[in-house]
Every structure is written in C-alpha cells, then in structure tokens.
Amino acid sequence: MAQYDVIIIGGGPGGYNAGIRAGQLGLKVAVVEKRVTLGGTCLNVGCMPSKALLHASELYEAAAGAEFATLGIEVKPKLNLVQMMKQKGESVTALTKGVEFLFKKNKVDWVKGAGKIVGQGKVEVTAEDGAVTTLEAANIVIATGSEPSPLPGVEVDQKRIVDSTGALSLPEVPKSLIVIGAGIIGLELGSVWRRLGAEVTVVEFLDRITPGMDAETAKTFQRSLTKQGIAFKLSSKVTTAKAGKSNVSLTVEPVAGGAAETLTADYVLLAIGRRPYTEGLGLESVGVVPDKRGFIPTDHFKTSAPGVWAIGDAILGPMLAHKAEEDAVACIEMIAGKWGHVDYNLVPSVVYTSPEVAWVGQTEEQLKEAGVTYKAGKFPFSANSRAKINHETEGFAKVLADAKTDEILGVHIVGPQAGEMIGEYCVAMAFKAASEDVARTCHPHPTRSEAGRQAAMGVEGWTMQA
C-alpha cells in the first residue's frame, strides 16, 4: 500500500495546484485523476478551449466585418473551422503537458484512475483497465470539481443537444443555435457561434441575464449583446426538447403562465449552471454527507471526517477555477501547519465576451439590501482615449465606496479588457484601499486602466476626463 502525506482526488485547478503547493512544502503527495490528461474541466473542456474560440472568433469577425475596413485593412477572410478547432486542441495539449511538467518538477505523483475513499486515510484507485490500487495518507483532499447541471425534459446527446463540452466542438457553424441559460458559459459560447455566423437565441428562466452581476452592468451588457445580434427570451422556461436528425424542437413557456410556443434550431446548448461532482466518492465510508445540492459542508476546508478536506467546486462559493486555486493553497498550507485563508468577497468574476465584463466585491443591490450607505463613481469608455483610438467605446467602469470611510466595496466594469483591469481593484480591496487611493495613483496614458482611475475620482465628484 503506497503511503503519502496527502492524497488529492481530482486533477483540475484545485487539485493540481494543491499537489504543486504540497510538493513545494515538502509533503509526499499523490494526485488521483481519471482523465487521460491533467487540468480538469478548466484546461480540457472549459476555460481554456472556450477562450481559444472566443479569441479566434473575435479576430474572424473583425476581419469579416466593418472593424478591419474602418482601420484601412481590406480583406475577405474565409473560415476554416477545422483549423480553428485544431489550434484550440494544440493550445489545450500544451497547457495540460505543462501541468505534467510542474508535477515532475515538484515531485507530485499522478496516479491515473478514478479515486474513491474506502475508509479513514484510504483511497482506492481504479485504472482504465480495471486494475485497483490502494493508497494511504493522513490527509485526503476532495477536489473533484463540477459537471454541467441537467434540465428535466432536455436530454443532452452531444449531437444536436449539447452541453458546454459539446458546444466547444460542433462539426459545423449552425445556421441557428438556441442557448438555454443566460449565464456566463452560455453567453460566452453563444457569442462564439454568433460571430462565426449562427443566429443565436438565449432562453432564460429569470427576468434578467447573468444573475449575480450588478443590475446596471447587466443591462448595459445585454444591450451590447442584443446589438451584436443575440436575441433574448427572458422569463421563459424550457419544458421539453426533441432532437431530430437535423434540428431540435423546444417547447418554451412563459414563467408567469400563458401559451407555450415551439422554437426550432439546428443545435441547442444547455448551459443552466454547474453542480458539484461528489457522487461515487465513497464519502459515506467516512461519514461525510453532502447537502441536497451535492456540496460538501466544510469549516475552513475541513469536512466532518478527521483528515478529509474539500476544496473548489465541491464546496460552497464561486464555482471558478481561480477560486479553486485559492482554496487549494489555503487548504494545503493548513495541512502543513501554516495559516490558510480565502476572502471570497475578493474573488473576481469575468465574462470573456466582447465587450468583457468583470467585477469584484459588492453590487449596488447587495449594498442597498445590507443598508450600507455608499457613493458611486462611474466613467464611460467613450471618454477614454485608448478606447476611442481602438474603436472599443462600449461600456463603463464603476467604483462603489463606503460613504463614511471611502473604502472600496465593489467594482464593476463592462468594456475592453475588463478582465485584465479588475486585478488592480482586487489588490486595492485586499489592502482596504479607499477610492481616493486609486484616484491619486498615477496610471499610464493612454490606457484603458485610466477609466478605472477616473471612476474612482468620480466617487468624490472630481472626474476630469468626462
């Protein structure tokens, strides 16, 4: 029986970062992963391949549409979908191989197969060929991630009705695509296929898109997507989906009641969220009971069982790769006898569409509900010199700060490179910065980041560029 200090079940952003950190701290560590490659959903069929297609489709649309022509570049691009998918695959392979290299560098053992807890300190690994190996360790970390949530009446066949994995590898550009769910994943993948030529309709149960996003930001974002050609059917629920040889028929009903209608499309993408992947892990063998949604209850990553820990999408909190990485570092450092902590209020969210949307901290709605008195500063990208020069003037940066102390409580950006810009505010908020701290910090000119500074100035009413 192989002996370790730590066994990690799952090789995604939570699991592989936990393995690397454990190796750095001198712990004898094994990561159990059943995929043929490391990296989990994020590297293999999530964050990374979707960004590859988002980037490629944005360049294609720029060349095919008015953007290149406006810049004086006259071309007539031809879409080669096979090559677009090939380069996506090559990028993903390079990343997963990179994680393998990091494992070797940090002396992390990758045990290939499906892991299952079979008692305190014991993990049974079943390889693809059926061979079973038992590992033993004082600490077991569950980092099994999540999977797409199902919807009754809509059966994913990965042919005509696909989830996020299938939507990354469609064999053709659909003439029409219906996306069920107006969350981040659905909007990102919907925008990819819209740019490549599909007619895209998004059906959403709620009366708004992107739940959890600041309401003003979400409205601006929806207007932009609508202008790009994406149609929205809000306050609507899908009750059935029937896949044929060449299309799918959906039955859609108003949430408030009323007559149902039938929508037809070449393909349907089901993207209503994700659920923790915690079944079949042998949790019952150590007395760990997930909640009704499948999340494992924890107290600073500790489960109810001694020596069993859980991180990432398997526990409550934002289901994001970078959150899982923070969990991983904190959990392993606690196992190693150090202090570990994650401030979930400072985990940023990003939608990698065009324009991008990024936010961190509290929304205006949350602050109002909590009775917090705040001030808001807002600056439009239409007044930002770099955005103007680059013809990317949609959106704004908004800073929310405590009315008494001026501490930054939330930042919301919809516009170019929003995902890159939000990092400045993550750092600022981690150090309890005031809006004035950012407002009085010199930013390079001309850059998009100046919009964030001008928004900070706006908290106290001295925005200078608009």
List, by residue number, the catalytic residues: 445
Cα separation of 53 and 74, whole Å? Answer: 23
Q: From 270, 265, 229, select the one nearest 250 (Cα to Cα).
A: 265
DSSP β-ladder status, 248-254 and 261-265: antiparallel
- Angstrom distance (rounded) from CA 207 to CA 205: 7
Tokens 């100046």 found at: 450
CA distance 357 to 419: 7
Strand, coil or helix: what is 394? Answer: coil
* First-to-final CA distance of the chain: 68
The answer to whether residues 61 and 55 touch, using CB atoms and an 8 Å cutoff, is no
DSSP-based three-state secondary structure for 85: helix
Residue 404 phi/psi, 5° resolution? Answer: -95, -50
Cβ(174)–Cβ(198) under 8 Å? yes
The SS3 call for residue 224 is: helix
CA neighbours closer than 13 Å in the CB half-sphere of residue 163 = 16
Q: Is 328 helix (H, G, I), strand (E, B) or coil?
A: helix
Other beta carbons within 10 Å of 409 = 25
